[in-house]
Structure 1
Amino acid sequence: MTTSSVSPAQSSDFAELSRQVKHVGLLERRYGYYAVRITANLLLFAAGVLAFVLLGDSWWQLLTAAFFAVVLVQFAFVGHDAGHRQIFWSRRTNDVVGRAHGALTGISYRWWVGKHNRHHANPNHEDDDPDIDIPALAFSQDQARRKRGVFRWVAKHQAVLFFPLLLTEAVMLRIASVQAVLRREVASARSEAVLLGAHIVGYLTAVFLVLSPLKAVLFIAVHQGLMGVYLGCAFAPNHKGMPMPARGEKLDFLRKQVTTSRNVAGGRWVDFLLGGLNHQIEHHLFPTMPRPNLRRARAIVRDFCDRHGIEYVQCGLIRSYAWVLHHLHAVGAPLRQPAAGG
Structure 2
Amino acid sequence: MEEEGTWEGCLFTWEEVGIRNGGRQGQEQWLVIDRKVYDVSKFSKRHPGGSRVISHYAGQDATVRAGKAVGGSALIHTSPTEIPFLYPQKSLLEDFRELRCTVEKMGLLRPDCFFFFLIFLHLLVLDAAAWLVVWYFGTSLVPFLAGMVFFTTAQIQMGWFQHDLGHCSVFRRPRWNHLLQTVVINMLKGLPASWWNHLHNQHHAKPNCFRKDPDLNMHPLLFSLGKTLSVQLGKQKKKFMPYNYQHKYFFLLAPLALVPFFQLSIFYFAIKRKKWLVSTASLSGKLQKCHCIHLHLPLVGTEGSCVYLPRYLESTWFIWVSQMNHIPMDIDYDKNEDWVSTQLHATCNVNQSVFNDWFTGHLNFQIEHHLFPTMPRHNYWKVAPLVKSLCGKHGIEYKSKTLLEAFADILHSLKDSGEHWLEAYLHG
- TMscore range, shorter length: 0.7 to 0.9
Q: Which residue of 1 aligns with 2:176?
A: 93
Asked if residue 231 in structure 1 is aligned to residue 318 in structure 2, the reply is yes
Q: Would you say 1:268 and 2:354 are equivalent positions?
A: yes
SS at match of 2:273: coil
In structure 2, distance between residues paired with 1:181 and 1:316: 37
Q: Read off the aligned partner of 1:32 and give its amino acid letter.
A: F
C-alpha displacement at 1:241, in angstroms? 1.8
The two structures have a TM-score, normalised by structure 1, of 0.88
Q: Secondary structure at the match of 1:179?
A: helix
1:139–1:328 CA contact under 8 A, matched in 2: yes
Match of 2:210 among 96, 118, 126: 126
**Structure 1 spans left out of the alignment, 5+ residues:** none
- 1:145-294 equivalences under 5 Å are 146=233, 152-168=240-256, 170-172=258-260, 174-176=262-264, 178-180=266-268, 182-183=270-271, 185=273, 189-190=276-277, 192-194=278-280, 196-207=281-292, 210-212=296-298, 214-247=301-334, 249-294=335-380
Deviations 1:208-242 (A, max 9, x none): 57544715344334211110111012101111121
Supply the RMSD in Å over aligned alpha carbons: 2.8
Distance 1:280 1:156 in 2: 28
Q: Quote how far apart the aligned CAs of 1:339 are.
A: 6.6
Which of structures 1 and 2 has the larger relative contact order (alpha carbons within 8 angstroms, sep 6+)? Answer: 1
Report the Cα offset of residue 107 of structure 1: 2.0
SS in 2 for 1:168: helix
* Count of residue pairs the alignment pairs up: 335
**Aligned residue identity for 2:170:** I
Contact 2:130-2:146 at 8 Å conserved across structures? no
Which residue in 2 is equivalent to 1:27?
A: 109
SS at match of 1:277: coil
In the superposition, relative to structure 1, how do residues 186 and 168 fare at CA in structure 2: closer, same or farther (>3 Å)?
Answer: farther
* Equivalent position of 2:222 in the other structure: 136
Higher helix share: 1
In structure 1, what is the equivalent of residue 408 of structure 2? 322
Partner of 1:118: helix, strand, or coil? helix
Q: CA deviation at 1:140?
A: 2.5
Separation in structure 1 between the aligned mates of residue 114 and residue 181 of structure 2, nearest angstrom: 17
Shift in CA distance, 61/269, structure 1 to aligned 2, threshold 3 Å: same
Please name the residue that 1:6 is paired with: 87
Alpha-carbon distance, 1:304 to partner: 1.9
Are the equivalent residues in 2 in contact too, given 1:302–1:312 (CA < 8 A)?
yes
Distance 1:143 1:256, change over 3 A: closer
Task: Please say which structure displays the higher CA radius of gyration.
Answer: 2
Structure 2 residue corresponding to 1:108, chosen from 192, 199, 206? 192
Give distance in 1, aligned partners of 2:91 and 2:390. Answer: 14
1:109 shift after superposition: 1.5
Cα distance, 1:338 vs. partner? 9.7
